[in-house]
Amino acid sequence: KQEVTQIPAALSVPEGENLVLNCSFTDSAIYNLQWFRQDPGKGLTSLLLIQSSQREQTSGRLNASLDKSSGRSTLYIAASQPGDSATYLCAVRPGAAGNKLTFGGGTRVLVKP
């Protein structure tokens, strides 16, 4: 059974500092991994998707890496801003025939001005 863990559950950083968010999963047989952002009481906004054959994906200030063999992914957010304050969730999808996402519990981020 796939289990996804995100540590820490919450962190607070001053504006301008780089953010490093961690995601670990127990079964390395994944199809892809997706990072989402969730604002309080809202739905999920997709940030980055990494296929199992990829090592990283980048979009603007965001960079996500994937080490499938060790069951880890890291989301880097450069030069954090107060608007980056949100909960960040990672989710893994099993092999191509798999049809559900398994989510971590999320990391709640507060960027202080």
Partner 1 sequence: ETGVTQSPTHLIKTRGQQVTLRCSSQSGHNTVSWYQQALGQGPQFIFQYYREEENGRGNFPPRFSGLQFPNYSSELNVNALELDDSALYLCASSSPDRESRGYTFGSGTRLTVV
Applying CB under 8 A, the residues found at the interface with partner 1 are 4, 31-32, 34, 36, 41-46, 49, 51, 89, 91, 93, 96, 99-106
Q: Which is nearer to partner 1, 93 or 111 (CB)?
A: 93
**Shortest distance, position 16 Cβ to partner 1, whole Å:** 28
How many Cα atoms occupy the beta-carbon half-sphere of 2 within 13 Å? Answer: 23
**Shortest distance, position 15 Cβ to partner 1, whole Å:** 25
**Shortest distance, position 67 Cβ to partner 1, whole Å:** 19
**Shortest distance, position 19 Cβ to partner 1, whole Å:** 19
Report the candidate in 32, 50, 42 with the shortest Cα–Cα distance to residue 87: 42
Q: Which is nearer to partner 1, 63 or 98 (CB)?
A: 98
Q: Which is nearer to partner 1, 9 or 79 (CB)?
A: 9
The one-letter code for the residue type at 34 is Q
- Exposure string (b/e) for 39-75, b if CB count within 10 Å is 16 or more? eeeeebeebbbbebeeeebeeeebebebebeebebbb
